[in-house]
Amino acid sequence: MRVVLHYSAGPGLAARMAAFAARDLHVTVCPEHDDAAFAEAMREALLNAPDGVYEGEDTIDCDAVDNTEEYLVRAKVTIAGARVEVDLSGSSRQARSCINAGWLDAKTSAATALKFLLEPATPFTSGVFRHVDLVIPTASIVSAAPPDGAIMLYWEASSALLIAIFKALAHALNRDAIGGDLASAAVHN
């Protein structure tokens, strides 16, 4: 097995390499992956994107508890210069079954959507997040909280968030927009 670590050289690199080596994996470190450079690429992409407030939403048809309740994922995307805010307020409450996402899943989905739409040319690193602010309500479908907000296969909520951002920016990006998909692994019904 070959594992490529996309880390810049820095504190902890030797420990990460040793941990992988202890599991008999071959490790290649890619020093050309510079988070600062990738953050700058996202900053430039945001400066080239049209400023404005854009809204999109997507739904999850139901959870395993009640097939009549839909779950809404709402995204308000505000682009202002070199910053973007993704506000998930207005998304449905957390589900009673394990179709929820956690806040880290929401963070990753939002950044993934922005990378796809605005700056797909460079690798996905932590530099993507430097210019992104998230507003995530507590105990929602995209930020489940214990004891009732089970998170297992977070594909459902994460995909709905990705599609909601695609929809939000569709008109603003015009020909550079991305169409959605079924956005479901269909594992909960």
How many Cβ atoms sit within 10 Å of the Cβ of residue 131?
19
Lookup: tokens for 142: 């995209």
For the entire predicted model, the pTM comes to 0.78
Calpha distance 51→49 (Å, rounded): 6
User: What is the tens place of the pLDDT at every residue in 28-56?
Assistant: 445 556 788 889 999 999 999 999 999 99
Q: What does the DSSP assignment read for 97-162? A: STB---HHHHHHHHHHHHHHHH-TTS---GGGGGGEEEE--TTBTTS--TTT--BS-THHHHHHHH
Predicted local distance difference test score (pLDDT) of residue 182: 59
Q: What is the dihedral of CA 155, 16, 116, 75, to 10 degrees?
A: 50
Predicted local distance difference test score (pLDDT) of residue 33: 60
- Higher per-residue pLDDT: 167 or 146: 167
Q: Residue 22: pLDDT band by 50, 70, 90 thresholds?
A: low
Percent of the chain with pLDDT over 70: 76
Q: pLDDT at residue 139 above 70?
A: yes
